[in-house]
Structure 1
Amino acid sequence: MNEEMKAEFDKYMNEQFAILEGHSSRIFLRMWNKYIELNQQEEKNGN
């Protein structure tokens, strides 16, 4: 992913989090936490 795409993605995610803070979104946060966990596990496994 190039820097420009990464910046766009970060901006998008920050906007999503700002929207979610105005709502009760435990489902999204649970999914997001799971996604982070899976990424960390993959890094540990060296994939």
Structure 2
Amino acid sequence: MNEQEAAAALREIHGLRQSCGDERQLAALDDLATILEECAAISGSYLWFAGD
């Protein structure tokens, strides 16, 4: 995911928060938002996901 894709994903976080069922899910979403913000802020950066 490049910085433009990270910025687009970040805009979807608010809607996703409304569908979270518990505090663990909210915490994970907050962590994801932090990582997406960092990626979106740095031109030429990429965010890679590995695993399930």
| TM-score for both structures, normalised by structure 1 | 0.47
Higher relative contact order (CA 8 A, sep 6+): 2
More helix by share: 1
| TM-score for both structures, normalised by structure 2 | 0.44
